[in-house]
Structure 1
Amino acid sequence: MKNTGLRGGRYGEVLLVSAGADGPTATVYNTYPLNDCPPELWTRLDAQALATEHGALAALLNGPRYWLMDAIEKDMGTEREIVTFGGLDMYRQATVALSSMNPAPYVPNTVARNAVFVFDAGAPVFELVDADGRAWVMQTWSQIVDPALSYDDLPGLAERLTLPDGWSFRTRTLETDLRVDTSSQAAQVLQDGLTNSYSLVSS
């Protein structure tokens, strides 16, 4: 199934954290495409109350966020789990092996999401390039740290981010479609200091 027209769409996530043999693991629930994470409901969510209600070690609120890919290809299956958090319906979307209960910026987490993210030719992308020369494409921007951060602000992030040694930030316009295919392998995802999230383009 291919969902298009995502760029700029608003959503929110609830992560229910459990203790695993290799560290904390989070089950990710996402408002997309059920609703656009209306502020009047999102701002009333209580993470501690949600953790208690669902028997989780912790609940993490991840949003509001906005998509930057143009399409997602994903096998949704015939029956999908929907959970309601404080009046917000969310689909169960992915599982994340957390690097810690409070992951640091620029530290990758492993995400099982079984999806392809598509960034259209002719569209801008915002990327981190790490010290090994690998590109990480921004998949969502966040208003968690800066509630006023907008799409128009993204090209200027190089002046705001404190990057690790040897890293850089760039904006470029795609000449061909960019496909981040993690349909059959885990994705590597990290966040910057403003909690914008990025996927490793290729290993």
Structure 2
Amino acid sequence: MRQASSLRGKRYGEVLLITLGADSEAPPQATVYNTFPLNDCPAELWSRLDAGALAKEHDAAAALLNGPRYWLMDSVEKDMPGEPEIVNFGGIDMIRQATVKLTSMNPAPYLANIVSRNAVFVFDTGATVFELVDPAGGTWVMQTWSQVLDPALSYDDLAVLGDRLALPSGWSYGAHVLDEQLRIDTSTQDAQVLQDDLTNSYSLARRAS
């Protein structure tokens, strides 16, 4: 396992290359390429990326531009056997990091996607975490905040973000300080990840008891 630390607040971007299932019953799948730790998703180059051109160039059904984003975990432990696969997208180097089974070509907010990422996300004691709680009592911890829809969204906005979200019935949003370390361990199992309606991303941390 390799560890990256001091992540909170670090900027990155992603390109997702989507392939369709072998039949109409199979969900689309995305291969995720991430700028971290190669660069901080330079704004000038990122603004020039063309999703349609990238899809054509890489023989994908579609490409999604996911960023810029900022990490909220404090460190990541990741199983990365062998040499990383690095791909250049419009002048931005990115590492292949995960695969995602999408609920659809355009996943709706508050619906979980299955992510194979072989990683442990670590939130330190004393750190603030921002959470969704679903109607069944499951807890989803924000792993990244997004400037995809709101380019001005900042860390300082997150504590009261619930006032802006169009939460489905039975969902709630809140923030609190951890009194012990939180580890979201998906090193040997798939992660469940969803986005809110501002495209901030959350990992399932605790299922309902």
TM-score range, shorter chain: over 0.9
Q: Helix, strand or coil: the match of 2:7?
A: coil
Q: 1:34 aligns with which of 29, 34, 38?
A: 38
Deviation at 1:78, TM superposition (A): 2.6
The question of 1:5 aligning with 2:6 is answered: yes
- Who is 2:181 aligned against? 177
Structure 2 equivalent of residue 96 of structure 1: 100
Name the count of aligned residue pairs. Answer: 203
| Residue in structure 2 matched with residue 18 of structure 1 by the alignment | 19
Structure 1 match to 2:157: 153
CA distance in 2, matches of 1:180, 1:20: 29
Q: What does 1:1-203 align with in structure 2 at a 5 Å threshold?
A: 1-21=2-22, 22-203=26-207
Structure 2 Cα separation of the partners of residues 104 and 23 of structure 1: 14
Supply the distance in 2 between the matched residues of 1:26 and 1:158 (Cα, whole angstroms). Answer: 29
Matches of 1:2 and 1:202, distance apart in 2: 23
| Structure 1 residue 125, shift from structure 2 partner | 0.2
1:60-94 per-position Cα deviation (integer Å, ceiling 9, x unaligned): 00000000000000022231100000000000000
Residue 28 of structure 2: SS of its match in structure 1? strand
Distance in 2 separating the partners of 1:93 and 1:45: 19
- Secondary structure in 2 aligned to 1:104? coil
SS at match of 2:189: coil
- For structure 1, the 5+ residue unaligned runs are none
Which segment is superposed worse, 117-126 or 14-23? 14-23
* Aligned-partner Cα distance in 1 for 2:80–2:38: 13
Give % identity.
Answer: 69
- Paired AA for residue 4 in structure 1: S
Secondary structure at the counterpart of residue 201 of structure 1: strand
Q: Give every structure 1 segment of 4 or more consecutive aligned residues whose post-TM-superposition deviation is greater than 6 Å.
A: none
What is the alpha-carbon distance in structure 1 between the residues aligned to residue 80 and residue 180 of structure 2? 26
Can you give the 5+ residue segments of structure 2 that lack an aligned partner in the other structure?
A: none
Partner AA of 2:86 in structure 1: I
- My pick for the range that moved more, 20-29 or 43-52, is 20-29
Work out the CA distance in 1 between the residues paired with 2:8 and 2:104: 29
The separation in 2 between residues aligned to 1:26 and 1:37, in whole angstroms, is 20
In structure 1, how many angstroms separate the alpha carbons of the residues matched to 2:134 and 2:168? 8
Once residues 29 and 158 of structure 2 are traced to their aligned partners in structure 1, the CA distance between those partners, rounded to angstroms, is 30
TM-score for both structures, normalised by structure 1 = 0.99
Report the 3-state secondary structure (helix = DSSP H, G, I; strand = E; otherwise coil) of the residue aligned with 1:11.
strand
